[in-house]
């Protein structure tokens, strides 16, 4: 039986990052993967979707070339080539993880791993043991009872990335990050898209102002948005699919070629041996302490299968903290109130901290500042004036409670707010930190100025 210091089960952005950090700290490390190194994020999520969205963005630029004083007489899309490019990007990233495994002398064990008592993992009949086993098995597309996925007419995100042909009409059920990103992509490619969202606002975890702005932007480009709406039944017996949608006004039947179910994720905790080992689970999540130790010594869990936010960067941070704690380093628990969230539709969304509504609910006396990109010189020059930066401060102490952005490139801007909040920056400190002009990022400073009644450009 092969013996390791640490075995990681699952090689997504939680698992492979954990394995690399463990190796850096001197642990003899192995990683178990049943499919492709990089997990869902690199192969079927974060990375290939961004490749699709980039193709959509370039296509949008071609459509609007005249807005920039350019003449493009002939252009078209090749849907299969767009998909092929996305798969190529994913394959390249997965090969990059293979290189990192070799570079860091991490053993890659291919196959389906099952946890066993006594700090062991069975991989397709072969047992391996370790002093520490870290579970990072991630999640998959969640299925609703009234919306079963057949992989053809009712699909999840995996099929949405590799459809053999572009649908003429698509219904997207759910308007979280996955739903709105695919809605934007397919709309840009020329598909007629309808979003059906059960809650009153799309991207419902975001600040209400951001949700309303995205809905306006989507409607402007021809995406049909239905909120406070529920798909009650579907009929796949014909050539396409019919969905009965219940709203406050009654019921209506929508017809489409395909329904994309984007109603969240389901953790991969079945059939991996949790019960055999006696690891505690509650409501689809593995229970852990601040250092990702389960109730059974020697077994740990990180990423989507634990109660924190199901985001790639969260899984990576959890894995690093977990192995550093094992190594005896001084570590501080992750502040889950300072995790940035990003959505890569167009316009992009990025946020961190409390929404205005939550800040009020928690009893804060707040200062709110908002700066529209329509007043930004850089945004005007780029032709991307949709959106704004919104900041929320505690009026008493100047604490930066939240930052919410919607617009071009804002996912690359949110780190300023994350770092500022980590360093307990006040509104006046942000205001007096000189931001370069003309940039999109100066909108952060302008929004803070608006909160303190010092704004210049609006």
Strands across the sheet containing 400-407: 341-343, 348-353, 400-407, 388-394, 366-372
Domain around 43: 2-140+266-336
| Per-residue pLDDT at 457 | 87
Residues 254 and 278 in one domain: no
42 pLDDT tier (thresholds 50, 70, 90):
confident
| Per-residue pLDDT at 340 | 98
Instruction: Report yes or no: 245 and 231 within 8 Å, Cβ to Cβ.
Output: yes
- Which CATH number covers residue 378? 3.30.390.30
Catalytic residue among 313, 435, 437, 457: 437
Looking at residues 177-193, what average pLDDT do you find? Answer: 97
Check whether 66 has a pLDDT greater than 90: yes
Whether residue 290 lies inside any domain: the answer is yes
For residue 386, say whether it is annotated as part of any ligand binding site: no
Residues 362 and 445 in one domain: yes
Residues 15 and 125 in one domain: yes
Residues 371 and 257 in one domain: no
Whether residue 95 lies inside any domain: the answer is yes
Check whether 219 has a pLDDT greater than 90: yes
Check whether 220 has a pLDDT greater than 80: yes
Whether residue 342 lies inside any domain: the answer is no
| Per-residue pLDDT at 39 | 87
Residues 272 and 136 in one domain: yes
Residues 398 and 441 in one domain: yes
For residue 188, say whether it is annotated as part of any ligand binding site: no
For residue 151, say whether it is annotated as part of any ligand binding site: no
Instruction: Report yes or no: 347 and 376 within 8 Å, Cβ to Cβ.
Output: no
Residues 351 and 307 in one domain: no
For residue 110, say whether it is annotated as part of any ligand binding site: no
- Is 437 an annotated catalytic residue? yes
Residues 351 and 390 in one domain: yes
- How far is CA 416 from each of CA 33, 185, 281, rounded to the nearest angstrom? 35, 28, 36
| Among candidate residues 336, 363, 390, the one where a domain is terminated | 336
Structural domains in the chain (count):
3
| Per-residue pLDDT at 207 | 97
Whether residue 148 lies inside any domain: the answer is no
Looking at residues 336-356, what average pLDDT do you find? Answer: 97
Check whether 40 has a pLDDT greater than 90: no
Check whether 45 has a pLDDT greater than 90: no
Share of the chain above pLDDT 90, in %: 94
| Among candidate residues 245, 263, 281, the one where a domain is terminated | 263
DSSP three-state, residue 311 = coil
| Among candidate residues 263, 292, 317, the one where a domain is terminated | 263
Q: pLDDT digit string (tens) for 98-134?
A: 999 999 999 999 999 999 999 999 999 999 999 999 9
The pTM of the full predicted model, rounded to 2 decimals, is 0.95
């Amino acid at each position: 039986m092969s013996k390791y210091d640490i075995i990681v089960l699952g090689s997504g952005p939680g698992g492979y990052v954990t394995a690399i950090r463990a190796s850096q700290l001197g642990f003899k490390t192995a990683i178990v993967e049943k499919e492709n190194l990089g997990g869902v994020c690199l192969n079927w999520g974060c990375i290939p979707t961004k490749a699709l969205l980039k193709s959509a963005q370039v296509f949008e630029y071609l459509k609007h070339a005249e807005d920039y004083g350019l003449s493009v007489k002939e252009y078209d899309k090749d849907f299969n080539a767009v998909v092929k490019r996305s798969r190529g990007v994913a394959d390249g990233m997965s090969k990059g993880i293979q290189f990192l495994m070799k570079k860091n002398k991490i053993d890659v064990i291919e196959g389906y791993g099952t946890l066993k008592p006594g700090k062991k993992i069975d991989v397709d009949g072969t047992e391996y043991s370790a002093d520490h086993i870290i579970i990072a098995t991630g999640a998959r597309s969640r299925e609703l009872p009234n919306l079963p996925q057949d992989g053809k007419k009712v699909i999840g995100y995996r099929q949405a990335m590799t459809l053999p042909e572009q649908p003429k009409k698509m219904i997207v059920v759910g308007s979280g990050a996955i739903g709105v990103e695919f809605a934007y992509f397919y709309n840009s490619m020329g598909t007629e898209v309808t979003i059906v969202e059960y809650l009153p606002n799309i991207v419902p975890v975001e600040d209400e102002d951001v949700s309303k702005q995205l809905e306006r932007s989507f409607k402007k480009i021809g995406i049909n948005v239905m909120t406070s709406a529920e798909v009650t039944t579907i009929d796949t017996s014909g050539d396409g699919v019919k969905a009965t949608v219940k709203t406050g006004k009654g019921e209506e039947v929508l017809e489409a070629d395909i329904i994309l179910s984007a109603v969240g994720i389901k953790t991969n905790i079945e059939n991996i041996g949790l019960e055999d080992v006696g690891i505690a689970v509650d409501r689809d999540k593995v229970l852990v302490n601040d250092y990702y130790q389960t109730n059974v010594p020697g077994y740990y869990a990180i990423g989507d299968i634990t109660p924190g936010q199901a985001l790639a960067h969260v899984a990576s941070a959890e894995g690093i903290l977990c192995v550093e704690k094992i190594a005896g380093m001084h570590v501080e628990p992750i502040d889950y109130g300072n995790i940035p969230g990003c959505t890569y539709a167009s316009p992009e969304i990025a946020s961190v901290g409390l929404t205005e509504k939550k800040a009020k609910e928690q009893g804060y006396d707040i200062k709110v500042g908002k700066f529209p990109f329509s007043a930004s010189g850089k945004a005007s020059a780029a032709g991307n004036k949709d959106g704004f930066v919104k900041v929320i401060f505690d009026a008493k102490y100047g604490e930066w409670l939240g930052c919410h952005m919607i617009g071009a490139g804002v996912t690359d801007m949110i780190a300023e707010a994350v770092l500022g909040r980590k360093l307990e920056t006040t509104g006046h400190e942000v205001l007096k930190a000189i931001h370069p002009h003309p940039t999109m990022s100066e909108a952060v400073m302008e929004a803070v100025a608006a909160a303190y009644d010092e704004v210049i450009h609006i």
